[in-house]
Amino acid sequence: MHSLRRLWLALAAVITAGFLILGFMGREVYRKAPPIPERVQTPSGRVLLTKDDILDGQLVYQSIGGQQVGSVWGHGAYQAPDWSADWLHREAEAQLDLWSRREHGAAFAALPDEAQAALRARLQKAMRHNGFDPATGALTVSDDRAIAIEQTAAHYRALFGDEPGLTGLRESYALHNGAVPDAGRRDKLTAFFFWTAWATAAERPGTGASYTNNWPHEPLVGNVPTTPNVIWSIVSIVLLLAGIGALVWYHAFRRAEEPPASAPARDPLGGWVLTPSMRAVGKYCVVVVALLVLQVALGALTAHYTVEGHEVFGLPVSDYLPYAVTRTWHVQLGVFWIATAFLAAGLFLAPAVGGREPRGQRLGVNVLFGALVLVVFGSLAGEWLSVKQRFALETSFWFGHQGYEYVDLGRAFQIALFAGLGLWLFLMLRALWPALARRDLGRHIVLLFTGATVAIGLFYGVGLFYGAKTHLSVMEYWRWWVVHLWVEGFMEVFATAAIAFLFTRFGLLRPESAARAALLSTCIFLVSGIPGTFHHLYFSGTPVSVMAVGASFSALEVVPLVLVGIEAHETWQMQHRSGWMQAYRWPIQFFVAVAFWNFVGAGVFGFLINPPIALYYMQGLNTTPVHAHAALFGVYGLLSLGLVLVMLRRLFPHAVWSEARLRVAFWGMNGGLALMIALSLLPIGLAQAWASVDRGLWYARSAEFLQQPVLEALRWMRLVGDSVFIAGVAAFVWFVAGLFTRRPAGAASARPAAGEAAAMSAPAAMSAPAAMSAPAASRAPAG
């Protein structure tokens, strides 16, 4: 008990220290964000654009899909260019060509090396000159640069309109024709792009580096890695090695070995009473599967656009569902179905943990279900209307598209979702309260489970701390609170506590051992995970101190994943403790796969892009979706499906499970994900990284590079992995449909595993919820 008390104190210290660091560094983000000039003018006082133009342009970018249409400062989609890097290169080339033709009577590319070098030196001085006057708020650019700005802006006005000469380029970018039909909006969009590019080259006063720490790599303007970038990369690697060594040493010499718990003779979960609210959760499982199917279909369509641009095997699908819409829906639905699975698992477990059904719980579960359906499909409709430019700009932010990846839904739907999470939190706490009042060893797991529940319910609200015209650096700061801390942080703590609770109820772990392991894992994860949020913000207009904190702490996020293979092996062995455990073979298989992808996706592929020097060259390349797919689906997706299988196992205790369908589902999804990465995403990402180091990020993201035959062939190769993955999803859907239609899920070969039938026919009594009668167990879940 003393060790548990110390672990609770350690967890409190970790959370307090982590958020103090996060808050202090957030203050620096606010203070040192790149200035937005009141006006951009020439030395003669001619105004080129204003602050209102820049901020309205930001709204235009958001309304067309924002980070789902290319990227800015490296954050967003990977098919179209990074607009800040692309503008920077185009403006630099325009200025070089202007000087070359004026002074040498020839294009810059035709000049001898000596003349080119002289012009490049002049360009670097001009582009890296800050020119911003804090006293007046004016940014002054030379007359020559004003000409280059206008030429570059003209390209984007034509690109986002319907200029016939750029149809081929729009197809390469998967950008639909007439993406911004209003000429006034296109003018403002170019103002926003100019400002984001200016901040990447203009030197932050007194630092010798740009506001984005010299990102992106652009040799023309002298954007190369800074000294802090290299130093903190070395520090991060040293800290990683030290952390791994310390954890391995602890595991080998200091971990107290305890004898395994004795597995019960019969299934302990068979003694759970299926309460009305637990039965009502059944429809959540159906929605999880339906949203998964829709997300996978949209993912396949989105991937196909990277090959054909506007068509699907000749059909002009993008006229109705542009790439910006399909990618928005694909990303958002992933968050929706995973979050729905977590909410359902919480609602299903809460009465079992608490030991009773609060009055009106079923009604609350049904009301929450209706609210979630409204938010999901209402937000999807609003995003389509926004991308099709059917809203006024301000209306678009509220009811259409916020333009920021993973938090794309309109602000009104975001508020509604936060209210729904509040209702979920209320339902959870009232059901968990009896367990919190009990003084037993299992209370520690319940406390951790409750704490994670509160964090999930409330933490999504930080996404409301920015507005439509909030500074881009500040917005990124709060957005990553949601994406990194809400999704990757507290959902993982919730899952850890939920699985620990299930394993203690299975009798596979002692309550005190499970509590100790869960608390220790949470401490190790959060000590690096909370300040590690800043590894997303190295190049988002933040000071170098953000890079130092992010690199140092985020390197340690890999440390707890080092021993995941041992944990996975131990988890795998648990299913053989007793015959009835075969009833949970496939949920345990999914949990083991989660451990594997946690190490590979979050650990290996995460650290691939984590050190500042690596991310400097690879931010915004296909190395990022390698990490995103392996970590988001491989960890949270498979974990969600495992939890769904546990719920279905109890909701349909007498159903015959099809081993064949689940086997195809498991290996199809895991094998398909591996093939998707190995045959397509990773090779493309590595090829882009080479191009980024060699010539610059603009080239690695350009149509010139990405439309090469070999890279197009690699994109086609994704069909192999996608097909295997889709087969796995289809098998999972077939399995779930078989349970709900009450048909035998297979033939004679699909009989219950040894020991399972006996376990289900004679459930063991246990000390948690009251024993369930056979008739109650056999009733189908009702809404």
Over 50: is that where the pLDDT of 265 sits? yes
Per-residue pLDDT, averaged over 374-396, amounts to 95
- Helices 709-740 and 659-676 cross at an angle (nearest 10°) of 160
Answer for the pair 323, 732: CB distance below 8 angstroms, yes or no.
no
Please give the angle made by the CA atoms of 336, 338 and 602, to the nearest 5 degrees: 120
Over 90: is that where the pLDDT of 183 sits? yes
Over 50: is that where the pLDDT of 763 sits? no
Answer for the pair 644, 285: CB distance below 8 angstroms, yes or no.
yes
Over 80: is that where the pLDDT of 460 sits? yes
Give the number of other CB atoms < 10 A from CB of residue 664: 18
What pLDDT, on the 0 to 100 scale, is given for residue 376?
Answer: 95
Over 50: is that where the pLDDT of 749 sits? no
- Specify the range with the lowest mean pLDDT, choosing from 73-77, 201-205, 492-496, 528-532: 492-496
Answer for the pair 400, 386: CB distance below 8 angstroms, yes or no.
yes
Answer for the pair 217, 584: CB distance below 8 angstroms, yes or no.
no
Residue 511's pLDDT band, with cuts at 50, 70 and 90, is: confident
For the stretch 678-688, pLDDT in tens is: 999 999 999 99
What distances in angstroms separate CA 360 from CA 274, 277, 367, 412, 430, one per listed residue?
15, 9, 11, 28, 11
Amino acid of residue 591: F
Over 50: is that where the pLDDT of 753 sits? no
For the stretch 14-67, pLDDT in tens is: 999 999 999 999 999 999 999 999 999 999 999 999 999 999 999 999 999 999
Answer for the pair 480, 26: CB distance below 8 angstroms, yes or no.
no
DSSP 76: E
Question: Token pair of 505, please?
Answer: 């109820």
Q: How far apart are CA 526 and CA 513, in angstroms?
A: 20
Residue 765's pLDDT band, with cuts at 50, 70 and 90, is: very low
What pLDDT, on the 0 to 100 scale, is given for residue 312?
Answer: 81
- In sequence order, which residues have a C-beta less than 8 Å from that of residue 363 and are 6 or more positions away? none
What pLDDT, on the 0 to 100 scale, is given for residue 746?
Answer: 43
Q: How far apart are CA 641 and CA 657, in angstroms?
A: 15
Q: Is 50 helix (H, G, I), strand (E, B) or coil?
A: strand
Over 80: is that where the pLDDT of 772 sits? no
Percent of the chain beyond pLDDT 90? Answer: 66
Q: Is 500 helix (H, G, I), strand (E, B) or coil?
A: helix
For the whole model, what pTM was predicted? 0.91
Over 80: is that where the pLDDT of 495 sits? no
Q: How far apart are CA 325 and CA 384, in angstroms?
A: 6
Q: Tokens 């996060």 — which residue?
A: 22
Residue 509's pLDDT band, with cuts at 50, 70 and 90, is: low
Answer for the pair 92, 218: CB distance below 8 angstroms, yes or no.
yes
Give the number of other CB atoms < 10 A from CB of residue 562: 17
Over 80: is that where the pLDDT of 215 sits? yes
Length, in residues, of the chain: 783
For the stretch 315-352, pLDDT in tens is: 888 889 999 999 999 999 999 999 999 999 999 988 98
Q: How far apart are CA 176 and CA 178, in angstroms?
A: 6
What pLDDT, on the 0 to 100 scale, is given for residue 271?
Answer: 66
β pairing state of 39-41 and 138-140:
parallel
Q: How far apart are CA 68 and CA 586, in angstroms?
A: 35
What pLDDT, on the 0 to 100 scale, is given for residue 253?
Answer: 66
Answer for the pair 571, 588: CB distance below 8 angstroms, yes or no.
yes
Over 90: is that where the pLDDT of 134 sits? yes
Residue 567's pLDDT band, with cuts at 50, 70 and 90, is: low
- Specify the range with the lowest mean pLDDT, choosing from 88-102, 250-264, 424-438, 764-778: 764-778
Question: Token pair of 645, please?
Answer: 């299988």
DSSP 182: -
The kind and range of the H/E element at 549 are: helix 544-554
Per-residue pLDDT, averaged over 162-172, amounts to 94
Over 60: is that where the pLDDT of 437 sits? yes
Over 70: is that where the pLDDT of 1 sits? no
Answer for the pair 436, 451: CB distance below 8 angstroms, yes or no.
no
Q: Is 213 exposed, middle or buried (0-12, 13-18, 19+ CB in 10 A)?
A: buried
Q: Is 72 helix (H, G, I), strand (E, B) or coil?
A: strand
Q: How far apart are CA 487 and CA 483, in angstroms?
A: 5
- Specify the range with the lowest mean pLDDT, choosing from 101-105, 245-249, 258-262, 435-439: 258-262
Strand partners for 76: 71
Q: How far apart are CA 401 and CA 399, in angstroms?
A: 7
Answer for the pair 427, 347: CB distance below 8 angstroms, yes or no.
yes
Percent of the chain beyond pLDDT 70? Answer: 87
**Mean pLDDT score of the chain:** 87
What pLDDT, on the 0 to 100 scale, is given for residue 547?
Answer: 95
What pLDDT, on the 0 to 100 scale, is given for residue 774?
Answer: 31
Residue 354's pLDDT band, with cuts at 50, 70 and 90, is: confident
Higher model confidence: residue 469 or residue 580?
A: 469
CA distance between the termini of the chain: 42
For the stretch 281-327, pLDDT in tens is: 999 999 999 999 999 999 999 998 988 888 787 788 888 999 999 99
Q: How far apart are CA 713 and CA 381, in angstroms?
A: 34
What pLDDT, on the 0 to 100 scale, is given for residue 82?
Answer: 97
Strand partners for 223: 218
What pLDDT, on the 0 to 100 scale, is given for residue 86?
Answer: 98
Answer for the pair 187, 324: CB distance below 8 angstroms, yes or no.
no
What pLDDT, on the 0 to 100 scale, is given for residue 566?
Answer: 55
Over 60: is that where the pLDDT of 599 sits? yes
β pairing state of 47-50 and 39-41:
antiparallel
Q: How far apart are CA 672 and CA 727, in angstroms?
A: 9
Residue 769's pLDDT band, with cuts at 50, 70 and 90, is: very low
Amino acid of residue 205: P
